[in-house]
Chains A and B, each alone.
Chain A
Amino acid sequence: MATVAPEQAAKPATKPATMAQALGRALRDAMAEDPSVHVLGEDVGTLGGVFRITDGLAKEFGDDRCTDTPLAEAGILGAAVGMAMYGLRPVVEMQFDAFGYPAFEQLVSHVAKMRNRTRGTMPLPITIRIPYGGGIGGVEHHSDSSEAYYMATPGLTVVTPATVADAYGLLRQSIASDDPVVFLEPKRLYWSKDTWNPESPATVEPIGTAVVRRPGTSATLITYGPSLTVCLEAAEAARAEGWDLEVVDLRSLVPFDDATVAASVRRTGRAVVVHESHGFGGPGGEIAARITERCFHHLEAPVLRVAGLDIPYPPPMLERHHLPGVDRVLDAVARLQWDQ
């Protein structure tokens, strides 16, 4: 499971592409390779999705493979459950983070549990694509970071790419996975460009593998999705203050790569978890606890969290105060010197 065909690795040609293009390409390639892959959701057909991720799929594969559904998220995901029961691999689009909430019961009560309820006889290979997070000036209900809800549900795999190559590789792996995957797309990175070889996906490690994006020695920033660029920028800025920061991109929140994270923190002795989801009850608390359990004797300072504020997602004109930026990360790094 969860691997990309090896013959793809041979082909060259590296070019710049956006994350949105890589996601579209991943869907197209998966559909071309496997006739059981079906895309469904609101506006995914003729319009190509509000973010154009599914652009061209209905034209190339037909309405039966890329289907505009009625506007009903529980119905979309519920129908996908039945389709998966009959041997298809549905890829569902939830359009915006908060639009996925009406489908929550299907997700929690059925999608996450079907393998378990049926003792493994009825696994559900469903990929649920959810554009998430803020920073694009969206109004209410268009900018939530809802990963903590999904992480809290056993049975779901939760991944989020932060690079163009990962967007392609992780989505291919998610579709190939025999388990349901919540695939969180950081929408503020949709238009970020990267050099990427579309014929040779960079992500060949299995889902659940974190990656060190920037090696360093004096502290580890642990992050994912939209906050990776913030952390890399903060690491550059911190050099002037004598900090050599390591940046770990989790890529997968469930399963969680305890080994990579613990190895990094043991090397550096200090850790800050950075994400734009809320702090209280958010992903950072779980991650900080896991680090403390595994690395207590290596820690020079408490594990800190830099998160979004514990507020409902703010209106767009105020969202910059909510989203953790470089300065907030640097402030936390400064606080790692608490004993001096």
Chain B
Amino acid sequence: MTVMEQRSTRRTGRTAPPPAWQPRTDPAPLLPDAEPYRVLGTDAAAKADPELLRRLYAEVVRGRRYNAQATALTKQGRLAVYPSTTGQEAAEVAAALALEERDWLFPSYRDTLAAVARGLDPVQALTLLRGDWHTGYDPHEHRVAPLSTPLATQLPHAVGLAHAARLKGDDVVALAMVGDGGTSEGDFHEALNFAAVWQAPVVFLVQNNGYAISVPLAKQTAAPSLAHKAVGYGMPGRLVDGNDAVAMHEVLTEAVTHAREGGGPTLIEAVTYRMDAHTNADDATRYRTDDEVEAWRDHDPVLLLERVLTERGLIDEAGMQAVRDDAETMAAALRERMNADPVLDPMDLFTHVYAEQTSQLREQAEQLRAELEAEAEASEGGR
């Protein structure tokens, strides 16, 4: 007798079958398409809204210039580190533009550009990377959570915030950003599970840029795609061309609307590529070839938009130059402001640990104050 036969024999003895767990829906609608969703380079591009195309183009060009400027600032020692999103601008910008003002963005450390595109002061957005404080802005002002350095740990925050907003009766959506490496973290799993169980109005955006520092996606996951992970949680998974700003904007806006209308969370995988190294401290030539990088140049998010704008006669060379000039002005202003040394007050170290300083902190603050006074006296005397 086989094991299966034994089982079926036992089952026949029961008067009623036990209550079985039932999947809550047919999984097919949750599954992503086999190919990333694209608009640019397809017939649909002819129908894309001209205003949207022009806006996305301006934002993506600004994003490209911002990445270049921030990278240059690391070489000048003005930034301790900058994780570039060159090549990923379409995904970054779309994330910011898909949200309404009342919505919240939960960026990872790489997503400075999304925060800036959402309206954050570029200098304040770079404070963490410059090293003068951990978060340079009031998160409530633009509804941008602090850039999260630990991986995927901000995703459960997005779920909790969206859940709380819904409990209060506000139609607020949280968009949480993470990289391909971050999908291996436990917090990614817990956040998606909570969001689906609670039907929280959250959109998870994974930017699959090919590598977690040096580890390629093939060593990160055995899943058919990162978007496929959605079905296991009971939420839709969408696979999108992350370099296609129009497709990104469309899919994100759909997911945000779906969440706002009570449809629950969506997991979006944006397939893109990090053209620069992980940071200025990384040597990308050790783990990827020039050929591989070159192959992505023809699929550059700026290029894809320029092609469609030109083909449709929506922009001419002068128009493109105006956009570049505008980006250059932004970069010059950023450069100038970043070249000023930040004024730091060491006593701030004790100010924001607790609502009220403990006696232990008060003692240490006095000690530091005395050290600072002694330092000041010594430098006076040295003159």
Contact = CB atoms under 8 A, between A and B. Distances in A.
A115 B146 CA distance: 11
B262 to A, nearest CB: 15
Contacts of B163: 79, 82-83
A211 B161 CA distance: 38
Interface residues of B, number: 44
B168 interface: yes
B168 A86 contact: yes
A178 B356 CA distance: 10
A110 B155 CA distance: 12
Interface in A68-88: 69-70, 72, 74-75, 77-88
Contact of B193 (A75, A120, A157, A254): A75
Interface string A109-128: 11001111111111100000
Nearest to A85: B161
Given A64-B167, A121-B139, A82 B160 contact: yes
A79 B358 CA distance: 28
A168 interface: no
Nearest to B136: A119
A95 to B, nearest CB: 16
A56 interface: no
B190 interface: yes
A1 interface: yes
Interface stretch (B65-73, B204-212, B280-288, B347-355): B347-355
Contacts of B135: 117-119
A79 B158 CA distance: 7
**Most A CB atoms within 10 A — which of B154, B167, B168?**
B167
9 contacts: A70-B194, A72-B193, A88-B167, A117-B135, A118-B139, A119-B352, A255-B354, A256-B360, A258-B360
Given A75-B156, A122-B139, 19 more contacts: A70-B190, A74-B187, A75-B159, A78-B157, A78-B159, A78-B191, A82-B160, A85-B161, A86-B161, A90-B160, A106-B187, A110-B150, A115-B353, A115-B354, A118-B146, A255-B354, A255-B359, A256-B360, A258-B359
Interface of B: 133-135, 138-140, 145-146, 149-150, 153-165, 167-168, 172, 174, 186-187, 190-191, 193-194, 197, 348, 351-356, 358-360
